Amino acid sequence: MARILKKVPNFKLPKYTMRDIEDIEELKIEYTPEELEKLQKSRKTAGSEGYPGTSYSTIKEVFERSTTLFKDRTFILEKFNRKGSFEEISYGKFREDVINLGTGLSKAFKLKGEKVLIIGETTYQWYVSYMAMLCGAGIAVPTDKELPENELENIIKRSEAAAVIFSPRKKDLIKKVANHCPGVKFFFEMYSDEKLSGRFAGLDYVMEEGKFLVDMGYTGYIDTEIDPDAFAVLIFTSGTTSAAKGVMISNTNLAYNINAVTPYVYLTPEDRLFSVLPLHHTYESTIGFLYPMAMGASVAVCQGLKHIANDMKETSPTAILAVPLLIETLHKKITQSIEKSGKASAVKSMITLTNGLKNLGIDVKKKVFKEIYENLGGRLRIVVSAAAPIDAKVGKWFEDIGILFLQGYGLTETAPIAALTPDYDTRIGSAGKAVVCDEIKIHEPNEKGEGEIWIKGKTVMLGYYEDPEATSDAIKDGWFNSGDIGYMDEDGFVYITGRSKNVIVTQNGKNIYPEEIEGLLGKVPEIQECMVYGKEVAGEKELIITARVIPNMEEIESSHGEGLGEDEIYKILWEKIKQVNRKLSNYKTVKKLEIKTDQFEKTSTLKIKRYAELAKDKKEEK
């Protein structure tokens, strides 16, 4: 449903100089047995028990506690002027704005209990709007800012939204859509104080109307009691395998996501998360917004992916939530810079030495790799990857330089966390173990222990909006069928191997998961992106395993020469694919190559929308 990025922008990192091993004082120190014992005792760990958890039942409870307890602490950092510096907004200011907006929407504009669609880039008033809804104004409908006019109009109508809150950048689009959406009572523009004119008004004006009522003693909004299990948020899925469904989320689902994460990850008010993902997606809105708010931490808003490096240096985050494509790109940029400096072998030696020291209880990684840390803001300690599988080597590299690498697993239907790797037992390559309020089981596993991943617990959605048939298909006896394929080890850690709806079934019953092949093809430098699928060919009973590939022309020209024709590029790529085929069982091998000249259509978490790609093929065939 989303087209947030065609690819990750080419952000730049500075060239690293990196000290030589003999120049690193931290590696020269000799430790006595007594000092080693002291260092080992001082290391902070959660052990096997985890950290103290939380027991919230609504997000309003989180809001009340955090905005009161941390009222003078910084909550949101945002650069409202690209040429300016980051402005800091306190928890206290956030509380005032949420109460004023909630009061304005529910009382002054009589929208209490109605659905309000929120669309726009990540910005302070998006956070305020979402929280105002969760605290009692009505039902929030967070929506992908990249939707084209026809899809946005469809979502507005399907959700029966009574109002739309939009960012200034979406004004032209909203004006077009408004003409076809007579059912919407109001359209509110963020950062505008325009009074009501027709159906349009500024969000600042709504907040001022609410503030007037609050100042007059009205407490109806803030006194609203929240039913934990009532329908609170409507999110339309990204639709990687089918048309988007409306997922109904409750306060229980969101609050228990916080309760689920706190025993696994140690976060304090000193932490700062770096927000790079779209807020309409549950991964960012729940774990990147609601969770740090519960901990009293702060959130720095990235001003655009091409500004990642500069924004991180300026805001000094301690954690970043990202999707594999972004993490892999960051890893690639750093390692390429190290290679250009001629220090790649030295860094490998430093990793070996520091890993050995760490095993003895001596962790000097942050000092040894100080230059890498400085270019990421100086305080980064956690990288979290979710939404898709990631190359385990990338996660291992981050851990090798001293950054905790965590992986999460879930779907919009679990709001979104169902599994997570604890920070004290990271298990790189695993998607994590079931969170404390959920159960995970492998349904009807095969001889390898692989099967559909089923989830049951407090994070599982209420159901699909106005679609009882889809709900009953997805949830059986309380167990939600994720549609993902995987296995579980003896310690309960989940490993994802594919997606059942993407599975290619051969004539003799063999299952082929495209993700496995795509993972191997993704390591080929000459391939920028690829999608593997079973192609129907007239006269053939068997689906033809086909790789649709976007060539990495920069790498091809660098390694094979410039000015190559289409046939030559095809031959280069086919030779690379044949090399990958040697690593696969015969029935899994790629039989056909298609070169794609435009970009793949993607979801907001940068996953290729397979059904959309294949739907295009059917249209072209007609």
Q: How confident is the model at residue 391 (pLDDT cuts 50, 70, 90)?
A: confident
The pTM is what? Answer: 0.84
E strands in 310-360: 319-322
Q: Higher confidence at residue 32 or residue 163? A: 163
Phi then psi dihedrals of residue 536, to 5 deg: -80, 130
Q: DSSP of 491-542, one letter per residue?
A: T-EEEEEEEGGG-EE-TTS-EE-HHHHHHHHTT-TTEEEEEEEEE--TT-SS
pLDDT for res 3: 32
Residues 6+ apart with CB under 8 A from 263: 50, 51, 52, 53, 422, 436
Tokens of 10: 């080419």
pLDDT of 2 reads 32
As a whole number, mean pLDDT of residues 496-525 equals: 81
All residues at 6 or more sequence positions from 443 whose CB lies less than 8 Å from its CB, including other chains: 451, 452, 453, 454, 479, 481
Say if residue 477's pLDDT is above 70. yes
- Given a cut of 90, whether residue 18 has pLDDT beyond it is no
Range in 93-97, 303-307, 445-449, 611-615 with the lowest mean pLDDT: 611-615
Question: Given pLDDT bands bounded at 50, 70 and 90, which one contains residue 85?
Answer: very high
Q: Does the pLDDT of residue 503 top 60, yes or no? A: yes
**Interval 196-211 mean pLDDT:** 98
Give the pLDDT of residue 46.
44
The span from the CA of 603 to the CA of 144, in Å, is 9
As a whole number of angstroms, the distance between CA 208 and CA 97 comes to 9
Annotated domain spans of the chain = 87-252, 503-621
Higher-pLDDT residue of 48, 183: 183
pLDDT band at residue 176, thresholds of 50, 70 and 90? very high
Question: Tokens 């750093």 correspond to what residue?
Answer: 334
What's 503-621's CATH class?
A: alpha beta
The hierarchical CATH code for the domain 87-252 is 3.40.50.12780
With cut-offs at 50, 70 and 90, classify the pLDDT of residue 111.
very high
Helix (H, G, I), strand (E, B) or coil at 52: coil
CB 321 within 8 A of CB 301: no
Find which of 31-35, 146-150, 563-567 is predicted with most confidence, using mean pLDDT.
563-567
Average pLDDT over residues 469-475: 94
* Residue 93 confidence class, pLDDT cut points 50, 70, 90: very high
Q: Do 232 and 126 touch, CB atoms closer than 8 A?
A: no
Establish whether domains 87-252 and 503-621 are of one fold. no
Of 7-21, 104-118, 331-345, 468-482, the range with the lowest mean pLDDT is 7-21
In 3D, which of 29, 30, 24, 25 has the Cα closest to residue 346?
24
